Amino acid sequence: VKELGKPERAVVTTCAYCGVGCTFRAEMKGEQLVRMVPYKDGKANRGHSCVKGRFAWGYANHNDRITSPMIRDSIAEPWREVSWDEAIAFASGRLSKIKAEYGPRALGGITSSRCTNEETFLVQKMIRSVFGANNVDTCARVCHSPTGYGLKTTFGTSAGTQDFDSVEHTDVALVIGANPTDGHPVFASRLKKRLRQGAKLIVIDPRRIDLVRSPHVEASFHLPLQPGTNVAVLTAIAHVIVTEGLADEAFIRERCDVEAYEDWARFVSDARHSPETLEPVTRVPAAELRGAARLFATGGNGAIYYGLGVTEHSQGSSTVMAIANLAMATGNIGRKGVGVNPLRGQNNVQGACDMGSFPHELPGYRHLSDSATREMFEADWGVALDPEPGLRIPNMLDAAVDGSFRAIYIQGEDILQSDPNTQHVAAGLSAMDCVIVHDLFLNETANYAHVFLPGSTFLEKNGTFTNAERRIQPVRKVMEPANGYEDWQVTQLLANAMGAGWEYDHPSEILDEIARLTASFAGVNWQMLQERGSVQWPVNEKHPDGSPVMHLEGFVRGKGLFVVTDYVPTDEKTGPRFPLLLTTGRILSQYNVGAQTRRTANTVWHQEDVLEVHPVDAENRGLKDGDWARLASRTGETTLRVTVTDRVAPGVVYTTFHHPATQANVVTTDYSDWATNCPEYKVTAVQITPSNGP
Ligand code: SF4
């Protein structure tokens, strides 16, 4: 700021990193961004931010930014910089040829949870109405798709139940499979403030995360479960609540499907689900588990916060439903201070899901098989839609290897680095005739692309993001796009080159279309967002000011549905060759695959991914702090530097996945959630051995 001088103007916009959705004043001098200042009137952050958001403009001007479109006939050739006209003609020509030769189901695409609602809506519209099939998916496939499935099944809608302010009324917070201090720092501060005021904390996590013991905060219970046993732990907690008469019978009789509750209660009461019986499975001392269950059921307002340690398992959807069961059984739904709160990873993963980024659902989570909904979209869009659900990301890759899926458009997503079993992703991409990558940087996936369309940053566009509390917030253009176009304009160019005839002039027109076609957005428009700053969906005639807390009087589905969730061990087994379990997570200063944060000043905090190993496991292998280790699984191997620590239990190792040099996902497996195919990132059987380095 000293060098650049006093700012001349400021634009209020929304952070493009995590699902907290902090707002900032981007302070400008001429066309130069001087600094990002947390916005004191921001409803999600109230003047706070974390280090990622404060420096979020660093990557926008990085030398690695690609600003010219590029094409090549095959991935063996070097890239050729071309004009936008030539790139769009090349891409649309290839897509149209494949469509003519193999049919529309040979084409598909992936929307980005980093992009705006309007951009995401347009990509899925292009895939369904221009490509002509429903092969659309999003990164939620690999993170929160079980949240969508589990909460829709039990409550009737695929979203968290509370606003962040709700935590101020919480008496007992149960944090499971989430590390808010690193993943959702501004929310973590609000949670810690409440804990310092006397609220109690239960942490269920294989690793001793910071929240377990930090200045002035100490969890009443930390249940360090064996990775992969979430459902067993939650069933044991439910067992204690039901068998000790701690369930909220009045809430259940009034608000829930009583027959389903009775089935569930019978199931969890069985002696085989007691904490003592399950202790050898969960490795959580039964007494601790009983204590945590009693505290949650009797401690006042109980709020559950969870993250990818819940969803990225073969039983991810079952775990989400087990959490919903627990909230209903204790009457912790439908008022401030309680609820089920998925901490969404990406800034707009909630929005990408709301906007119809799934192969079986149109915007607003309406199933394609609902002919009335389909007809409404067909009438509005003027095309017939394929009534069959399309392919999920892993199925697109499988079909590519089989030869029936030939082309993909990927917006703002580096699937080679972020998706499991890198070798399988590479095989699928290299089998395709046309891979179009629309991104800021030449990422790892672009190594397999034929067309590279340069993307725009959140500072270069208008639109909206929806955060983890369903808050729709404006994203305002701070500077002109370095490539000449906002992302929604690029999608429109491509769709029109294939015959769409779209005429959007501003994202507000796309938002109007979203509101017209999506009941939960019915009362949203650009002007009201400029006036109010933000609003939480559903916004409609009944809730013109939005809905901070959901399921107030009744559940969206009517009666809350208890679902029996039986613990089924993962097929990923340890054994003599691979005796340890690897689990993964994030660090405060880095964001996901690091494409942005590795290109900002704060990377000095974290230059490499490291492998946390318990002292006993390290000693058994002759490894010391700072040594290199070879990490091998049944899928692949990589090399990491070791940190010896008792944050992890014996038998468990842990790493992050921010750096392409490490490529942690070369070791993760193809196992996935039974309902949604969300990969089982959090449980991989591995072995570690000393190494001389990469
Ligand atoms: Fe806020 Fe998340 Fe951005 Fe940090 S990364 S400033 S917590 S939205």
Residue nearest to atom 6 of ligand 1 (CA): 53
Task: State the Cα–Cα distance between residues 573 and 593, nearest whole angstrom.
Answer: 27
Task: State the Cα–Cα distance between residues 593 and 138, nearest whole angstrom.
Answer: 16
Looking at the fold, whether 199 and 296 belong to one and the same domain comes out as yes
| Final residue of a structural domain among 291, 308, 342 | 342
Looking at the fold, whether 361 and 489 belong to one and the same domain comes out as yes
Mutate to test the pocket of ligand 1, among 24, 36, 52, 57 (most ligand atoms within 8 A of CB): 52
- Give domain status of residue 557, yes or no: no
What is the residue range of 488's domain? 70-140+348-459+481-504
pLDDT at 70 exceeding the cut of 60: yes
420 ligand 1 Cβ < 6 A: no
- Give domain status of residue 468, yes or no: no
Looking at the fold, whether 205 and 302 belong to one and the same domain comes out as yes
Mutate to test the pocket of ligand 1, among 20, 113, 467 (most ligand atoms within 8 A of CB): 20
DSSP string, 379-403: HHHTSPPP-S----HHHHHHHHHHT
- Give domain status of residue 302, yes or no: yes
Half-sphere exposure (CA, 13 Å, Cβ side) for 223?
A: 32
CATH classification at residue 486: 3.40.50.740
107 ligand 1 Cβ < 6 A: no
The pLDDT, as a whole number, for residue 538 is 94
ipTM of this predicted structure:
0.99
User: Looking at ligand 1, which atom is closest to the CA of residue 14?
Assistant: 8
187 within 8 A of 53, measured Cβ to Cβ: no
Looking at the fold, whether 81 and 26 belong to one and the same domain comes out as no
Q: Residue type for 220, please?
A: S
| Length of the chain as a residue count | 694
Provide the percentage of residues in the chain whose pLDDT is more than 90: 78
Looking at the fold, whether 182 and 298 belong to one and the same domain comes out as yes
Confidence of residue 668 (pLDDT cuts 50, 70, 90): confident
CATH classification at residue 26: 2.20.25.90
pLDDT at 408 exceeding the cut of 70: yes
Looking at the fold, whether 79 and 46 belong to one and the same domain comes out as no
180 ligand 1 Cβ < 6 A: no
Q: Which of 27-41, 115-129, 465-479, 620-634 has the lowest mean pLDDT?
A: 27-41
Considering the entire predicted model, what is its pTM?
0.91
Q: What is the pLDDT of residues 204-229, one digit of tens each?
A: 999 999 999 988 889 999 999 999 99
DSSP string, 626-664: T-EEEEEESS-EEEEEEEE-TTBPTTEEEEE---TTT-G
456 within 8 A of 465, measured Cβ to Cβ: no
Mutate to test the pocket of ligand 1, among 25, 45, 164, 186 (most ligand atoms within 8 A of CB): 186
What is the 3-state secondary structure of 207-264? Answer: ECCHHHEECCEECCEEECCCCCCHHHHHHHHHHHHHHCCCCCHHHHHHHECHHHHHHH
The pLDDT, as a whole number, for residue 661 is 65
- Give domain status of residue 448, yes or no: yes
| Final residue of a structural domain among 342, 366, 385 | 342
Using the mean position of ligand 1's atoms as its centre, give its distance from the Cα of residue 44 in Å. Answer: 10
Looking at the fold, whether 56 and 82 belong to one and the same domain comes out as no
Looking at the fold, whether 151 and 130 belong to one and the same domain comes out as no
20 ligand 1 Cβ < 6 A: yes
48 ligand 1 Cβ < 6 A: no
The pLDDT, as a whole number, for residue 561 is 97
- Give domain status of residue 259, yes or no: yes
Residue nearest to atom 3 of ligand 1 (CA): 53
- Give me the number of domains the chain comprises: 4
Q: What is the pLDDT of residues 1-19, one digit of tens each?
A: 455 668 889 999 999 888 9
pLDDT at 603 exceeding the cut of 60: no
User: Looking at ligand 1, which atom is closest to the CA of residue 16?
Assistant: 3
User: Looking at ligand 1, which atom is closest to the CA of residue 467?
Assistant: 8
524: Cβ contacts below 8 Å, ≥ 6 apart: 472, 511, 514, 515, 535, 537, 539
Question: Residue 462 CB: number of other CB atoms within 10 A?
Answer: 18
The pLDDT, as a whole number, for residue 34 is 85
Task: State the Cα–Cα distance between residues 421 and 412, nearest whole angstrom.
Answer: 20
| Final residue of a structural domain among 292, 321, 342 | 342
Looking at the fold, whether 262 and 401 belong to one and the same domain comes out as no
The pLDDT, as a whole number, for residue 33 is 86
Looking at the fold, whether 213 and 95 belong to one and the same domain comes out as no
pLDDT at 606 exceeding the cut of 60: no
Task: State the Cα–Cα distance between residues 44 and 471, nearest whole angstrom.
Answer: 8
CATH classification at residue 208: 3.40.228.10
- Give domain status of residue 263, yes or no: yes
Task: State the Cα–Cα distance between residues 324 and 139, nearest whole angstrom.
Answer: 23
DSSP string, 123-177: HHHHIIIII-S--EEEGGGGTTHHHHHHHHHHTSSSS-S--GGGGGG-SEEEEES
pLDDT at 295 exceeding the cut of 70: yes
- Give domain status of residue 530, yes or no: no
Looking at the fold, whether 136 and 192 belong to one and the same domain comes out as no
Confidence of residue 662 (pLDDT cuts 50, 70, 90): low
pLDDT at 629 exceeding the cut of 80: yes
Using the mean position of ligand 1's atoms as its centre, give its distance from the Cα of residue 352 in Å. Answer: 18
Confidence of residue 58 (pLDDT cuts 50, 70, 90): confident
Q: Residue type for 319, please?
A: T
CATH classification at residue 637: 2.40.40.20
- Give domain status of residue 536, yes or no: no
What average pLDDT does the segment 29-39 reach?
87
The pLDDT, as a whole number, for residue 4 is 63
Looking at the fold, whether 151 and 284 belong to one and the same domain comes out as yes
498 within 8 A of 73, measured Cβ to Cβ: no
User: Looking at ligand 1, which atom is closest to the CA of residue 38?
Assistant: 6
